Structure 1
Amino acid sequence: MQTRLAAEFLSTPDGQTADAILRRCVHCGFCTATCPTYQLLGDELDGPRGRIYLIKQVLEGAEPTRATQQHLDRCLTCRNCESTCPSGVEYGHLLDIGRKVVEARVQRPAGERAVRWLLREGLTSPLFGPAMRLGQAVRDVLPAPLRAKVPARREAGAWPQAPRPRRVLMLAGCVQPAMMPTINAATARVLDAAGIQTVVAPKAGCCGAIRFHLDDQVGALDDMRANIDAWWPWIEPTDGSPGVEAIVMNASGCGVMVKDYAHALRHDPAYADKARRISDLTRDLSELLPDLVPAWRQRLGDGLPASVPRRLVFHPPCTLQHGQKLRGGVERHLGELGFEVTLARQESHLCCGSAGTYSVLQPTLSRQLRDRKLGHLEAAAPQTIVSANIGCITHLQSGTATPVRHWVEVVDEALAASPARTPA
């Protein structure tokens, strides 16, 4: 694609990045075939190719409009188009640049600004936990739309305390500890069963994704720097002890963001090298499965306990299969443990409509995608739907009576029901 970026952008780091991305696009349109919003709306400007043209026009000097902003808003940032693109167009990074430029030039209505501010500040606030507990206490009397956003309270269970020869860091996350504390505790227990200790840096907070995708990229970078500072003593201990093996993510949305720290902070002289180290150390929990499964199989002995749901259908989050390019690992390795894991027979590559705060900001499109996804998942007649991201889990559960859980919770349940053995 030929470009003629305006001088105000061409000499900037964002402009140079955008120009390189735009020049890789060959207009083929393969991306439209796998774009969820294009499939729902049938509008070229609500597909990746159309949005690329809109961003190109703005960077070449055209004045963005409210319509431009809305077309970019309706993108889920699922990055399915990146998996489809034969030219390797980094659409996600281009969209980030386009949204930032448009946000600076197009005034949103006051109501939209207020909602986005509440999401940006509320979800990342220390007060989110108490607010969620209050919501869970009165969940039964909440209006249906609000009740769908408040999962029933679950007890996390014990966190392993014994030291192990191997250690990993884990990001607790901003909303997950309050909404579904079972996920973090289950992760610590299953790692402990394989001889790995899980540590959490108390000053680490939101990964930055919430602010970043709500057009507060400056605040997001501050979140990233704060996490790097909180993690660094565990990565390079001052007492001469070995650092942690990895930073483990059990929410794929956080994982794809932290793996992108190197890109986001590449121009920060104080943090660029550290950010690159953080990205290199970050692993989705599923990436550890080849190392974990042998220890779990020894713990399970003769196989899965009868009390554990065996027939699972896996919903791979977009942030896992498209953002991190991780496919097949969860199904394959859970199968080695004795679970019967399948994907939806159709459209397993499509987004469920959660997409961070998208289900709040674009509720109609989000519900349509959720119901479409659930139709395919439930066609497999699973005992449990499993996924790898809290947003997907909460969103899917709001539309079905079938249990929706993180896959690590199911593994934890199986290990807990098996005869206790000393971890490796």
Structure 2
Amino acid sequence: MQTHFTEQDLEQPHLREAERVLRTCVHCGFCNATCPTYQLLGDERDGPRGRIYLMKTLLESRDDDHQATEETRLHLDRCLSCRNCETTCPSGVEYHKLLDIGRAEIERRVPRKAGERALRFGLRKALVDPRRFRALLKLGLTFKPVVPGTLKQKLPATPVDAGIRPEGRDHERQMLILEGCVQPSLSPNTNAATARVLDRLGIGLTPAPEAGCCGAVDFHLDAQDAGRDRARANIDAWWPHIEAGCEAIVQTASGCGAFVKEYGEMLAHDPAYADKAARVSALARDLVEILEDEPLDGLSLENNGRLAFHCPCTLQHAQRLGGHVEGLLARLGFQLTPVRDAHLCCGSAGTYSITQPTLATQLRDNKLDALEEGRPDVIATANIGCQSHLAGADRTPVRHWIELVDEALS
């Protein structure tokens, strides 16, 4: 794609990066064929190719051209950031990098209206602190009958009890785990089940209580600098354990995992953190990457029933691990049902299901229809956002896949 940046423009790092990404696009349109919002809305501007043109126009325009900015904001807000287009693209366009640049540029030029800013600020404050989220969740469950409909669907039924979580300090092999922000409250059994399964394999999980939110919530809600600050804080919390020999940083939420794996790129120009961030990203591994390399054949599993697996976008498109969990579950003897259009997003997309509830609900219901065609007893997934979003429809039960493995082992 031809660009028209001046030499003065290209002195700015974000515009140099934008030009690099734009020039890889040959505007073939293959991306639109797999874009969930384009399929729903049929508007070129709500597909990746159209959004790329909008961002190109925005970045090449004057700062005072607010019309171009507002039109672009509307269509970028509707983007799920699912990165399905990147999996499809034959030219390797790094769409998500251009999207981050475009969204930051819009916020710089034209601040959002007060109501939108308040919603995003509230989400950032409510979601990133586990203790605060736990208190708000308890309050929401207490007054659930009067909670507005969109938020009411986010309130879970009684979560599965976490049970005993082994400390694993005696194991020679040690790994860190990112506990997550909302997962400890919405699905407390996920990390406990992870600890039990890894304990059986001779792997202990080293606690790092100083580590907090991965930074994705801030970064994708117009606060990119705050997201980078959280990345730095996590690196500081993990670094002593990495120096002591922890061999990996386990991620049980694929959204967090995808973001931590990009710490190296996000902080590449920070002289104080660039090398450490690259090391952390290299050590970050989704749970399935840990287990599929372990000797599982000796494990005795008892599992009956059928399950459908929903592969989150952050697992299959961002981390490029599509099919890995399904292969592991099949290897362990689980009976998986086929899933039509498994590449499509469920509509959760972090906070998207709150900021874009109409589109998110349509996508969720379509996804559930596809998942339920094989009449599964349970739906498994690998990301707490997808899990809570799909479960909000109150149809087939939705669990993290490691919980099912843990129960089969028990």
TM range (shorter): over 0.9
Which residue is 1:160 aligned to?
166
Picking from 316, 319, 323, the partner of 2:318 is 323
Which residue is 2:234 aligned to?
227
Which residue is 2:351 aligned to?
357
Q: How many Å separate the matches in 2 of 1:247 and 1:39? A: 36
Q: How many Å separate the matches in 2 of 1:165 and 1:311? A: 36
* TM-score, scaled relative to structure 2: 0.95
Question: 1:5·1:61 contact (CA, 8 Å) conserved in 2?
Answer: no
Which residue is 1:208 aligned to?
215
Question: 1:331·1:342 contact (CA, 8 Å) conserved in 2?
Answer: no
Which residue is 2:106 aligned to?
102
Question: 2:18·2:98 contact (CA, 8 Å) conserved in 1?
Answer: yes
Q: Deviations over 1:300-349 (max 9, x none)?
A: 1xx42xxx4431111000000000011211111111111012341x2110
Of 193-202 and 222-231, the range deviating more from structure 2: 193-202
Picking from 114, 119, 139, the partner of 2:118 is 114
Q: How many Å separate the matches in 1 of 2:7 and 2:222? A: 23
CA shift, 1:141, in A, is 6.0
Gap change, CA 1:29 and 1:75, over 3 Å in 2: same
Question: 1:310·1:338 contact (CA, 8 Å) conserved in 2?
Answer: no
Gaps of 5+ in 2: none
Q: How many Å separate the matches in 1 of 2:205 and 2:338? A: 30
Which residue is 1:263 aligned to?
265
Which residue is 1:186 aligned to?
193
Of 76-85 and 107-116, the range deviating more from structure 2: 107-116
CA shift, 1:16, in A, is 1.2
Gap change, CA 1:231 and 1:271, over 3 Å in 2: same
Q: Which letter does structure 1 place at the counterpart of 2:275?
A: D
Q: Which letter does structure 1 place at the counterpart of 2:314?
A: T
Which residue is 2:52 aligned to?
52
Q: How many Å separate the matches in 2 of 1:91 and 1:315? A: 23
Question: 1:212·1:220 contact (CA, 8 Å) conserved in 2?
Answer: yes
Q: Secondary structure at the match of 2:337?
A: strand
CA shift, 1:248, in A, is 0.6
Gaps of 5+ in 1: 238-242, 417-424
CA shift, 1:268, in A, is 0.3
Question: 2:193·2:402 contact (CA, 8 Å) conserved in 1?
Answer: yes
User: How do 1:40-79 and structure 2 match up within 5 A?
Assistant: 40-62=40-62, 63=65, 64-79=68-83
Q: How many Å separate the matches in 1 of 2:2 and 2:80? A: 26
User: How do 1:136-175 and structure 2 match up within 5 A?
Assistant: 136-139=141-144, 142-154=147-159, 155-162=161-168, 163-175=170-182
Q: How many Å separate the matches in 2 of 1:145 and 1:363? A: 7
Which residue is 1:198 aligned to?
205
Of 382-391 and 329-338, the range deviating more from structure 2: 329-338
Q: Deviations over 1:80-108 (max 9, x none)?
A: 00000000000001100010001111232
* TM-score, scaled relative to structure 1: 0.92
Question: 1:188·1:197 contact (CA, 8 Å) conserved in 2?
Answer: yes
Q: Secondary structure at the match of 1:167?
A: strand
Which residue is 1:338 aligned to?
333
Picking from 368, 383, 402, the partner of 2:377 is 383
RMSD, matched Cα: 1.5
Q: How many Å separate the matches in 2 of 1:386 and 1:161? A: 26
